[in-house]
Chain A
Amino acid sequence: MTDSFEPVIVGFTCNWCSYRAADAAGTARMKYAPNVRLIRLMCSGRLDPTFVMKALASGADGVLITGCHPGDCHYIDQNYKALRRFLLLRRTLKGLGVEPERIKLVWASAAEGLKLTNEINAFVEEIRALGPLHWPKWDSNGHTAEKQPILEVTA
C-alpha cells in the first residue's frame, strides 16, 4: 500500500468506563489519531458480534471493542461475556479469511483517558500495517468475481 492509507476504525465503548475515558482524554486535551469513530453502548456486553461484522462489511478496516476492567463492570460481569464473544469473533474472522488482529479488545476505566489514547494510537498503527480490508467481491451466484487470492494483503 501507499503511505496515504488511512485506516477507518469503528470503536465500541461502554457508557460507564471507556466512553468516559474518551471524555476524560478530551477534557485533558490528549491527542490521538483521528481514525477511530466511536459508538456508545451501555455495556460491552451489549456488543452483538454482528455489529462487528456489520462495521467490517460497511468499510471499517478494524474494530476496537472497549469495556470496563475485569471485576469493574457496571453490570457486575457482562464484560466477561464481551471477552468470550471477542475470542469467538476472532476465530470466526480467521475462518472467513480476515486477519483476527483487525479486532482488538481494550479495558479502559473512566480514569484511563491516557490508556485509551495510547491504545487507539497503537491500534491505528497496527491496522495501518495490515493495510485495507479487502472483502471478496461476491457475484449473485455466491462466487467471487475476482480470481485473485481473496485475503492476501500486500504490504
Chain B
Amino acid sequence: MSEKKPKIGVYVCHCGSNIAGMVDVEAVRDWAQAALGQDGVVVSRDYKFMCSSLGQELIEKDIQELGLERVVVAACSPHLHEKTFRTASERAGLNPYLTELVSIREQVSWVHTDKQVATEKSKALVSGAVHRVAYNTELQPLKVPINPNTLVVGGGIAGIQAALEIANAGFHVYLVEREPSIGGHMAQFDKTFPTLDCSACILTPRMVEAGTHPNITLLTWSEVISVSGYVGNFNVTIKKKARYVNEELCTGCGICVEKCPQKVIDDVYEAGLGYRKVIYTPFAQAVPKYPVLDRPNCTFFKNGKCKACEKFCPTNAIDFTQEDQYLNVEVGNIILATGYDLFDARRVTNYGYGRLPNVFTSLEFERMSNAAGPTGGEITLRDGKTKPETVGIIHCVGSRDKNFNNYCSSICCMQSLKFAHLVKERTGATVYEFYIDMRTPMKAYDEFYQRVLEEGTLFVRGKVAEVTNATHGPHEKGKLIIQVEDTLVGKQRRIPVDMVILSVGMEPRHDAKQVGQMFGISCSSDGWYIERHPKLDPVTTMTEGILIAGCASGPKDIPASVAQGAAAAARVLDKILQKEVELEPIRATVDESKCSGCRICNNLCPFNAISFLDDVGVTRINPALCQGCGTCVAACPAGAISGTGFSNEQIFAQIEGLLMGV
C-alpha cells in the first residue's frame, strides 16, 4: 500500500442549514486538508449547496485544473445524489466510479444532536471515503438490450390503463389476471364519486379495448408463479389455470351457464350476497367472455355425472380434460398493479358484522346498489324485502385505528358520501354518517360533500363505540343501536337505525409479501409495496425493471390509480425506447491464476452465474448473470474473486479510514 497516492479532492456540503446546522462544515473541510493530506487530499472545499450547478462546476473545475484523480463529496445519501456527482465528474473527464459520496446528512446531521460529536463523526466518515476512494477503479457501465415486451400483473383499472398505454405505443403487453375477468374492484361498483358516473359504463370500454387489442395478450384465470432475470431480460412463468372451456371454440353465448344446474354463493364478485353457477362468467360485461368451470363445486367432477354444459354447448367448447398450462414469456419490464384486499369487518367485533344481519360492508352495499347486482339495485335489509327507514354509515372501519391499521384508506369518506346520496335517492331513508374527520381533498370532492350535506344527511362526528341489538326500551325495538360519542356536542348518543354500512378500509393483498419476494421488491411495515421515492418516484421500485401502480403501493381512488397506471407505462416506454439499459458495473470476477478450483463458491450463487470449468480446473463467473451481491467474493478462501466497486481493498481501506485515530 505504499504506491503513489492519487490526487483526491474533498467537497463538504452545507445543504443550507441541513448539514451546517449540526456539523461544523469548515472544521471538517480544514481537517480533511490537514489530516488527510498524507492520504492524497490535495484540495478541500465547502459550499452551500454542492448539488447546485455552481457546486458541481467547482468540482469539475478542480478536476480539470488540479488534475484530481478521485473525488469525495460529503453531502447527502448516495441514493439521492451519487449519480449527480458521478455525472459531474464524468463531464470533467474523470471516470464516474472514481467519485464517492459520503452521507453526512442522513447519517449525521439529521440523526445526532451534539454538534461537536457530529463534526467528529463527519470527519471519520470523510476519512473512510478518502481511504476507500484511492482503491476505486475505473469502471464502465454494462449495457444490456431491453426486451420490448412488458408484463402487467393485475387487470384492475390501473393495470388496464398501463397495458393500454404501452400497447397503444406499439409494444406488446402480457396482461395477467388471477380472476376469470379483468376489471378488478371497479367492476363491482355501481356509481363512482364524485360525478356519479356509472362504473361499468366508463370501465367496460377500457376492458373491451384491452381484451381486443392486437398488442395485448390477455391471460385471465392465470397467475405468475416464477420470475428470473433482471431489468430488460426477465423470464416469467405463468400458470394458466384450466378453465375447462376451449377458448378457441367458445363463442361466449352463455348457454352452458344457463343450463348448469348447480348454484353456489359468489363470495368474490357478489361479496357473498348473490349466487353464481358452477360454470360462470363473473358478470355480464366480463372480458374475456369465456366462462370458467369451478372444478371443486362441479357435479361432474364430484360424482362423475351431469355434463349438462357439455351437452348443450353448441360449439363443443367444454373440455373436461383440460389441464393447467405453464407459459414461459420473456419481458423487459414488469408492472405490478395487484391492487388491495378489503379489511375484514369481522375483526371489529363491536360493530357486529357477521353477527347482526343488517350490518353490511361497503362492498356488499356496492353490489346491492348495482342494478346488475343480486337485488337488482334495490336497497333492502338482509331479508331482501324490507326497505330501511334509517341508515347509519360508519367511516374508518379498520383504518386510522391503532388496533388495526394506522393509515387512512383515503377513499372511504367519499365512498360513504356516495352511499348516503344513493340511499336517499333510492329509499328516502334518514341517513347518518359517523366520521372522525371528513377528508375530501381532490377535484370536485368537497363540492360533493356540500351537496350531500344539503340533501339532508346527518353527520355525527365521533368514532362509533358499538353497534348492538340490545335495546333500551320500546322505541328501540327491532333496531340496531349505534352508540357513539358526538364530539361536537360532547355527549354520548344512542341512535337507532335499521341498517348499518361499514365503510371498511383497504389492506395490502393477503399474499403481497410472497408476491413481492417473487418479484424482488419489499413491503413497508403496513404491507404496501415500497416505491423508490414516495414523492418523486412513486411508480418505480428499488428493483430496476419492476414498477408498481395503483393500490399495490397504498390506498388510492380511481383517478389516482389510472394516473399511476399511465405513469408506470410512461416509465416502461422510456426504457423500451432507449433499447438498452445501463447496469451498475458491480460484478464479481475470478482471477483464474489464483483460483485453486476448490469450488466453495460454486453453490453460493443464487443466479447461477458461477460455473466450473472442468478442463482447466477453475471457476468462472458470467458477468451477464452476476448481480453483484458479493457473496462469492466474501467466501473465496484464495482471494481469487474480486468484486468491483466493493473490493476487499476498498472495504479494508474504508475501515482503516473510519477508525483513523481511534
Contacts and interface: CB of A to CB of B under 8 A. Distances in A.
Nearest to B658: A37
B630 interface: yes
A146 B450 CA distance: 84
B107 A38 contact: yes
Contacts of B591: none
Contact of A110 (B542, B652, B654, B659): B542
Given A34-B112, A48-B634, A75-B629, A23 B106 contact: yes
Contacts of B390: none
A32 B517 contact: no
Contacts of A19: 79
A48 B111 contact: no
A71 interface: yes
A33 to B, nearest CB: 8
Interface in A1-51: 8, 10, 16-17, 19-20, 22-23, 25-27, 29-32, 34, 37-43, 45-51
Given A26-B107, A37-B125, A111-B522, A72 B77 contact: no
A68 interface: yes
A39 B658 contact: yes
Nearest to B114: A34
Interface string A112-127: 1000010000000000
Nearest to A38: B107
A140 interface: no
B630 A37 contact: no
A26 B530 contact: no
A37 B631 contact: no
A55 interface: yes
Given A31-B113, A58-B662, A74-B542, A39 B530 contact: no
B656 interface: yes
B110 A29 contact: yes
A39 B655 contact: yes
B297 to A, nearest CB: 34
A110 B543 CA distance: 13
Contacts of A58: 655-656, 659, 662
Contacts of A49: 634
A42 B77 contact: no
Contact of B631 (A8, A22, A45, A111): A45
A68 B522 contact: yes
Contacts of B530: 110-111
Contacts of A10: 655, 658-659
B271 interface: no
Nearest to A16: B542
A98 interface: no
Contacts of A51: 651-652, 655
Contacts of A48: 633-634, 648, 651
Interface residues of B, number: 52
Contacts of A77: 606
Interface stretch (B116-124, B190-198, B454-462): B116-124
Given A27-B106, A37-B658, A43 B630 contact: yes
Contacts of A25: 106, 111
A41 B542 contact: no
A54 interface: yes
A111 B525 contact: yes
A16 B521 CA distance: 10
Nearest to B588: A46
A76 interface: yes
Nearest to A17: B522
A25 to B, nearest CB: 6
A54 B106 CA distance: 26
Nearest to A41: B646
Contacts of B110: 26-27, 29
B646 A81 contact: no
Contacts of B113: 31
Given A10-B658, A34-B121, A46 B629 contact: yes
Contacts of A50: 648
Nearest to B514: A71
Contact of A31 (B103, B111, B630, B633): B111
The interface centre, meaning the residue of A17, A19, A45 with most chain B CB atoms within 10 A of its CB, is A45
A54 B648 CA distance: 11
B374 interface: no
A110 B79 CA distance: 12
Nearest to B632: A45
B520 interface: yes
B111 A75 contact: no
Given A41-B630, A41-B646, A59-B662, A54 B112 contact: no
B662 A46 contact: no
B112 to A, nearest CB: 5
B659 A40 contact: no
A104 interface: no
A85 interface: yes
A37 B660 CA distance: 12
Contacts of B525: 109, 111-112
B261 interface: no
The 7 closest A-B pairs by CB, nearest first: A26-B106, A46-B630, A45-B631, A59-B662, A76-B606, A75-B629, A43-B629
Given A50-B648, A68-B522, A77-B606, 14 more contacts: A37-B121, A37-B125, A39-B651, A39-B654, A41-B630, A42-B646, A46-B633, A48-B651, A58-B656, A59-B659, A71-B517, A78-B604, A78-B631, A81-B604
18 contacts: A16-B522, A23-B106, A34-B121, A41-B630, A41-B651, A42-B630, A42-B643, A42-B646, A45-B629, A48-B633, A48-B634, A58-B659, A74-B543, A78-B631, A109-B525, A111-B522, A111-B523, A111-B524
Interface of B: 77-79, 103, 105-108, 110-114, 117-118, 121, 124-125, 128, 517, 520, 522-525, 530, 542-543, 586, 604, 606-607, 627-631, 633-635, 643, 645-646, 648, 651-652, 654-656, 658-659, 662
